[in-house]
Structures are given as structure tokens and as C-alpha cells.
Amino acid sequence: MPPEPTTPDVTETIDALLARYVAGSLPAPARVLVESHLALKPENRALAAGLEALAGAELDAGLPVALGSPRQRIDSIVTGPIAPGAPARKSATGIFPAPLRDFIGFDVEDVPWRTKLPGFKEYDIGEIDGCHVTLFWIRAGRKIPAHTHEGTELSLVLDGAFTDRTGRYGRGDISLADDTIDHRPIADKDRPCIGFAVTDGPLRLTGPLHQRLSDILGV
């Protein structure tokens, strides 16, 4: 893909999201989400190649020395802690990648889940840097009520997988949705789906009323 001549729009593509990450312009929770994605997908060659190109463009533009080069930042995410000397927290399961664990302070076994709907649990981390930040847990096979978004919704899958009209998302994948996307995510049948979500606007339920009701009840 040729380089974008204009400022990338985060609402459009993962590439744009990564470009904003490399440029250092993402809000903190979205940065953690991208870093967690990169920690889980170091083997993703296409992604690495794209980042390298982006980092090269960014290097040409010139960055403050104190930040390090984007390439160094990307390498540090893939290979180890970003902050040298940062203590590595121990985890029984290791489901959460290090950037997320460091951000939240614990791993999946210590999440104080609250049931929002039957078969759907959430941990509301709060409003951070203009974003609403949550962890979610979806029972195996459960449908999430159809909805669209009044902002951008970034979801990083940490365990299990879900599928919506845009594709299937497994561990390490980012689903990106906005007001152009109306979706009804469904967790895989064999295990619950756990993820990290960053949104900058509310959701709006869509679809026929009978479907909404059955999806809210999880039946």
C-alpha cells in the first residue's frame, strides 16, 4: 500500500491505528491495547513490515531523541519490557500480555468481574485519557446484542474468539468498529471470549426488538 499523504484517521483501519501508535498520538489506553496486540503477535510479518515502513517514515520526520526511535520502541515491545528495569509481575495464567498486565496491575485470575447480562461480564476500568476502558468476558456461544457505535471501539481478544460480520477475531487480534459498523459479535462455542475494549463514544443497540431482547437475555 502506498504511503498515506494525509493524516491517518484512526476510525478507518488498523493501519491508521498503528500509524497513530508509531507517531505517539494515541490516548494511553489505546496505546496499551496496541502494545498488547504487538506483544501477542510478534510473528505477524505483514504487521512488522508495515510498522517498519511507518517507523521509517516517522524517523524521516524526526522525533525527539528522548522517545527513542519508533523502531526501538517496537522492538522493545516485541522482545521485552518497554521500561528497562521494570519488574515483571508474576501471573498464574499469563493470559494478559505484559503491557496490559502492567496497565491494570493484575492478570485474568484477579479481575473483579461484574455480570452485566446473563453470560456477559465486565470489569469497568473507568474513563482514562478520554476513553472508556473495560475488560469483557463472553460465555461460550453467546451473542452480544447488535449495536453500532457513536465513537471508535477497539477490542483486543485475549482468550477465546468472537466472530462478527467483519470476521473472526482470536487471541491477539484487534477488532475496530465505529459508526459505520453495525455488528452482533458471537463468542466461539468451545470457550469463553475474554477481551480488552477501549471506546471513545457510547454504543447504540440496533436490530429488531425481538432479537434485541433475546440477545440481552442471552437465550
Summarize as ranges the residues that interact with Zn ion (CB under 5 A).
153, 177
> Residue 156's beta-bridge partner residues?
174, 196
Which is closer to Zn ion, CB of 77 or CB of 136?
A: 136
Nearer to Zn ion, 89 or 204 (CB): 204
Shortest approach of Zn ion to residue 16 CB, angstroms? 18
State the minimum distance, in angstroms, from the CB of residue 51 to Zn ion: 25
CB-nearer residue toward Zn ion: 151 or 192? 151
Q: Which residues, including other chains, have CB under 8 Å from residue 70's CB and lie 6 or more apart?
A: 22, 51, 54, 55, 58, 59, 63
Residue 183: CB minimum distance to Zn ion, A: 6
Task: Name the minimum Å distance from CB 149 to Zn ion.
Answer: 6
- Residue 107 or residue 215: which is nearer to Zn ion going by CB? 215
**How far is it, in rounded angstroms, from Cα 114 to Cα 46?**
37
Task: Kindly state the cell numbers that stand for 147.
Answer: 449495536
> Whose CA is closest to 180, among 148, 154, 158, 207?
148
First to last CA, the chain: 43
Cβ distance to Zn ion smaller for residue 153 or 173 = 153
- CA nearest 110: which of 87, 138, 91, 129? 91
Q: Are 24 and 67 in contact (CB under 8 A)?
A: yes
For the bound state, the minimum distance from the C-beta of residue 2 to Zn ion, rounded and expressed in Å, comes to 30
Q: Are 166 and 183 a contacting pair, CB within 8 Å? A: yes
Q: Is 165 helix (H, G, I), strand (E, B) or coil?
A: coil
